[in-house]
Structure 1
Amino acid sequence: MLAMKPYASTADAAVFDYVIVGAGSAGCLLANRLSRDPGKRVLLIEAGRRDNYPWIHIPVGYLYCIGNPRTDWLYKTEPEAGLNGRSLRYPRGKTLGGCSSINGMIYMRGQSRDYESWAAQTNDREWSWENSLGDFKAHEDHYRLDDGADPATGDNSRFSDMHGRGGEWRIEKQRLKWDILESFAEAAVEAGIPRSTDFNSGDNEGVGYFEVNQKAGWRLNTSKAFLRPVRHRRNLVVWTEAEVETLAIETSADGAKRCTGVSLYHGSAKVTVRATAEVILSAGAIGSPQILQLSGIGPAGLSQAMGIPVEKELPGVGENLQDHLQIRAVFKVKNAKTLNTLASNLVGKARIGLEYVLKRSGPMSMSPSQLGAFTRSDPDRAHANLEYHVQPLSLDAFGEPLHSFPAFTASVCNLNPTSRGHVRIRSRHRGDPPAIAPNYLSTDEDRRIAADSIRQIRSIVSQPALSRYQPVEWKPGIEFQSDGELAKLAGDIANTIFHPVGTARMGATDDAMAVVDSRLRVRGIEGLRVVDASVMPTITSGNTSAPTMMIAEKAARWIIADAQNRA
């Protein structure tokens, strides 16, 4: 299952129609779509290695991939004032499949209002929910449509309107159940949160189990979904361990600028690759602005400070960074089975391993979060603005040991933060990681919502459905009650949920801070697009992997159409 045929090497001619930088959630899908035409030669460049590391494919393996140089860029944020001076580990995938190889596998589109907002900000209805739904469905293969009908109702008419069948991207239900999570869901209903049977219909308010990108108990990453099925295509070339240094920009006699290729290191060899049609940056919300800035495309003052010639001044490159910050509340419990107790000794761990080997189920098939809830931080809000990730376990941070006592964790994040940060290069050298400053909790609104969300967690846990477990708040601590205390505590215990977006955002023609237009073309540079989460003008109300793939599906159609128009 994990074997992969080797791809072509740099011995191939270094001239292609399309050069895609980054083989992550967007890049793998783009490579699949653009190489459908055998007359178009496509190069996909990935800085990391192939995805043949076993822990990538076992769902619980994210514990061994995050913080591992084999699969993670190992970024860290700048010290954050809103986090009381803390610096956070900032995982980003560095392997075929990118972040889809190390993420939480949760399939989540967000809310219809997210896309209506994008359409308004770009003056382009192509980004509306109605016009984006088909791009979600184009690659979707939802388990609830396997037999042509939704098993919950016996009818597929409404569900098939929202979801797809037969695409490359498999969506399955989780292969486990925990009594403590069932009780939390009941408590959420008692607290006024409705049940949800589908988080992806445009309104995700409610409580239910997350659906995951897995196939028969294995992680499905975008490399397996979109590259493996087409590895026989002779016009698709994939280079791994190939790190882009700069974009190649040429200026014509009339002053017009065009991106004609990339300069990169493949191993120790420096290679220049030409693109006759387009270069497409899909290196993510950190990597894409970094490459742009290293190429002299971005804030002019930053380029000049680094001794980089200014090719195009675009002040929005690297700005507008948004992320979901989760506050992890931990509750000790009694009379409950949790992963803390199940995995507390070698016998328990052996049983967990055996269940996965025999059935592909149990804790080793777990995504980081199993139960989800979307609700409002206060009843006056028009839409759900909080997302819960509830887990039958507790630890100080992912990658750290489980606690020795039985407990569950209820993490909550503000879906629509108003804080904005930035990504900026520190030098002109590709090997130096950029400065990443999300500026978490830097606005009064974000701090108020943080305090309100902790109070809401306490309200849910106090409901009768959880009383038999006698939950006791271990973190942050019930002694803290005021807005100021809770906002400070949020800064002490909150962590990223790994959803950076917005650093090369799209916008209308009169938006001076927009980096790309509504069709994702970089302003003032012909032949160059950005297609990844960095183009989102505002963060989606949920996990960001599925929206990134939708963006790539849409972009592929536009790229192909533009090529046909040029022919």
Structure 2
Amino acid sequence: MAAFDYVIVGGGSAGCVLASRLTEDPDVSVCLLEAGPAKQDSSVRMPAGIMKTMKDPNRNWLFRTEPQKNLNGRELFWPRGKAMGGSSAVNGMVYIRGHRADYDRWSAQEGCTGWAWEDLLPYFRRSENNERFTDDLHGQGGPLNVADPRSPNPMSRMYVEACAANQIAGNEDFNGPRQEGAGLYQLTQKNGERCSAYHGYLEGVDRPNLEIIDLAHATRVAFDGTRATGVEYRRQGQHETVTANAEVLLCGGAVNSPQLLQLSGIGAGAELAEFGIDLIADRPQVGRNMQDHLDVSIVNRTTTKLGFAFTLRGILMGLKATRDYRRNRTGLLTSNFAEAGAFVRSTPEEPLPDLQYHFLPVASDQHGQNRIRAHGVTLHCCDLRPKSRGRIGLKSPDPMADPLIDPNYLDHADDLEKLKRGTRIGRSMLAAPPLKQHMGEEMFPGRDVEDDAALEAFIRRKAETIYHPVGSCRMGSDQDSVVDLDCRVRGVEGLRVVDASVMPSLIGGNTNAPTIVIAEKIADVMRTKH
């Protein structure tokens, strides 16, 4: 088919949800374009395959930021999913909704009426099939399977006990009545395999009204005047166009969606003119308001060898794990590595948990790309609600070129202070029993890094993204917002953005589950109005 009711750009977390929900109506036709491959190989299905997909150019955009002035001029690595399932096909699978106060803030303070916690809870429940919790806060029978870690490492449980020794209470359910505390994360996993948005919503779905085109790199939204009429894309060296009779839906995420808007003539007029792009709508906020969770890691060697490592013993453990995985879908290869974590307040005065920890029973540096040949643990810490704001822009009018990514990390002084406090709290976690007796040398920050100046220098030298960019196509009721409360792009017709880029501000946690819920809600809006 050359024409459909809806054309969706991006087969990620939001795109899969929309494609599935809209085509439940047999009278609605949908074309889903995805730049990456549709085939789900073992590196995607196997949770530990994240070690490969993190640097696989066939399934990862492998973006890099602009030099960060507050991080010693470093260009940071920004992995983003490039496959059916998007970043949910390559992420750490941690299922976190965020704090209910985050959504109430969207509604009450940030002009997003209808997006409060009570408005979104039904969609969290609809999307979820929780294998353990059956209360009023959780769902059963939804497409996204949520399960406990299949074979957690004993050190992950020790981390939770060490938090208790620091007066951080245990928490069995971070998505329950209380977020604060320490515990094992629940994961988007089923029977020991990853459950991405594609696996949950589209795999095995065979509908004549849905066409999926993979390896299709969208280059421009086509317009008739100010009405979106379709999408131009490049596939296997050929230029193609697909027509949308009703709407075009951009689901490329916080990086690709604003880039495609700008390439299509929607953005700051003066900036687009510099690249010779004809203006469709002068929307200066496209690409602005970008936020991300900046993360700093404490890395310790261990005196025992309970965790995974790139050593001879680690290789032998891997061979056993391969056998366990093939036979029973159990063992090390079912691990997302970040099996345990905590939500804490950096000071007693904080009204909400403002720090999140991810504990890994492996010594890891630079997204695992710097392989440390020693047994150890890594404790990640991020500031949940940073005040710094960055932007997504263009480097070139060439749609095949990477966009300009400038998170502007640590632009606000409070963000640095939070990470310094978070590092100190994290050190106290690793120094408490029962972890204490397993801890050896602290590799990062290092035993000589103690005072404020040394900690600040360490953070500027080593902080990295924890993969949660949002906000670059901000939703709101004000006329400056990029999209309205139904995610329709202001200034044009027949075009929506539905992904993490529409979040007005970061939520307190991992962003995959909220992105899925955004798509669930907008699918309902569209079906009601169709």
Residue 144 (structure 2) aligned to one of 169, 174, 178? 169
* Distance in 1 (alpha carbons) for counterparts of 2:9 and 2:421: 41
User: What is the correspondence of 1:97-112 to structure 2 with a 5 Å cutoff?
Assistant: 97-112=85-100
Moved more, 552-561 or 354-363: 354-363
1:406-440 per-position Cα deviation (integer Å, ceiling 9, x unaligned): 21111100011111111101111101101111111
User: What is the correspondence of 1:224-239 to structure 2 with a 5 Å cutoff?
Assistant: 224-231=199-206, 233-239=207-213
Residue 211 (structure 1) aligned to one of 165, 186, 195? 186
Cα RMSD of the aligned pairs, angstroms, is 1.6
Secondary structure in 1 matching 2:256: helix
Deviation at 1:344, TM superposition (A): 3.4
Structure 1 residues 264 and 179, CA gap change in structure 2 (3 angstroms): closer
Residue 491 (structure 1) aligned to one of 456, 460, 464? 460
User: What is the correspondence of 1:233-382 to structure 2 with a 5 Å cutoff?
Assistant: 233-251=207-225, 257-340=226-309, 344=313, 346-382=315-351
Contact 1:16 1:43 in 2 (8 A): yes
Contact 1:125 1:131 in 2 (8 A): no
1:249-274 per-position Cα deviation (integer Å, ceiling 9, x unaligned): 222xxxxx211111112322222222
Residue 29 (structure 1) aligned to one of 17, 22, 36? 17
1:53-110 per-position Cα deviation (integer Å, ceiling 9, x unaligned): 2211111111111121110112111111222111111111111111111011111100
- Corresponding position of 1:6: none
* Distance in 2 (alpha carbons) for counterparts of 1:375 and 1:97: 31
- Corresponding position of 1:503: 472
Letter in 2 for 1:301: A
Contact 1:385 1:414 in 2 (8 A): yes
Moved more, 266-275 or 380-389: 266-275
Moved more, 344-353 or 123-132: 344-353
Contact 1:110 1:202 in 2 (8 A): no
Secondary structure in 1 matching 2:380: strand
- Corresponding position of 1:73: 61
Structure 1 residue 131 corresponds to structure 2 residue 116: no
* Distance in 1 (alpha carbons) for counterparts of 2:305 and 2:470: 38
Identity of aligned residues (%): 38
Secondary structure in 2 matching 1:144: coil
* Distance in 1 (alpha carbons) for counterparts of 2:504 and 2:117: 15
Secondary structure in 1 matching 2:7: strand
Deviation at 1:202, TM superposition (A): 5.5
Contact 1:322 1:500 in 2 (8 A): yes
Deviation at 1:341, TM superposition (A): 7.4
Secondary structure in 2 matching 1:474: strand
Moved more, 81-90 or 175-184: 175-184
Contact 1:344 1:404 in 2 (8 A): no
Structure 1 residue 85 corresponds to structure 2 residue 80: no
Structure 1 residue 392 corresponds to structure 2 residue 344: no
Structure 1 residues 336 and 494, CA gap change in structure 2 (3 angstroms): same
Structure 1 moving runs of 4+ over 3 Å = 121-125, 341-346
Contact 1:64 1:399 in 2 (8 A): no
* Distance in 1 (alpha carbons) for counterparts of 2:138 and 2:312: 37
Q: What's the TM-score, normalizing by structure 1? A: 0.91
Secondary structure in 2 matching 1:388: strand
Letter in 2 for 1:44: L
Moved more, 280-289 or 177-186: 177-186
Secondary structure in 2 matching 1:17: strand
Structure 1 residue 182 corresponds to structure 2 residue 170: no
Letter in 2 for 1:140: E
* Distance in 2 (alpha carbons) for counterparts of 1:545 and 1:343: 35
* Distance in 2 (alpha carbons) for counterparts of 1:370 and 1:250: 50
Deviation at 1:125, TM superposition (A): 3.5
1:320-357 per-position Cα deviation (integer Å, ceiling 9, x unaligned): 11111111101122235121278635433211211211
User: What is the correspondence of 1:365-444 to structure 2 with a 5 Å cutoff?
Assistant: 365-400=334-369, 402-444=371-413
1:267-312 per-position Cα deviation (integer Å, ceiling 9, x unaligned): 2222222211111000111100000000110111111111111110
Letter in 2 for 1:531: V
Deviation at 1:399, TM superposition (A): 4.0
Residue 198 (structure 1) aligned to one of 173, 177, 197? 173
Contact 1:46 1:239 in 2 (8 A): yes
Contact 1:80 1:439 in 2 (8 A): yes
* Distance in 2 (alpha carbons) for counterparts of 1:189 and 1:348: 30
Deviation at 1:466, TM superposition (A): 2.7
Moved more, 42-51 or 461-470: 461-470
Moved more, 120-129 or 531-540: 120-129
Residue 521 (structure 1) aligned to one of 488, 491, 498? 488
- Corresponding position of 1:153: none
Contact 1:516 1:529 in 2 (8 A): yes
Structure 1 residues 534 and 180, CA gap change in structure 2 (3 angstroms): same
* Distance in 2 (alpha carbons) for counterparts of 1:542 and 1:202: 15
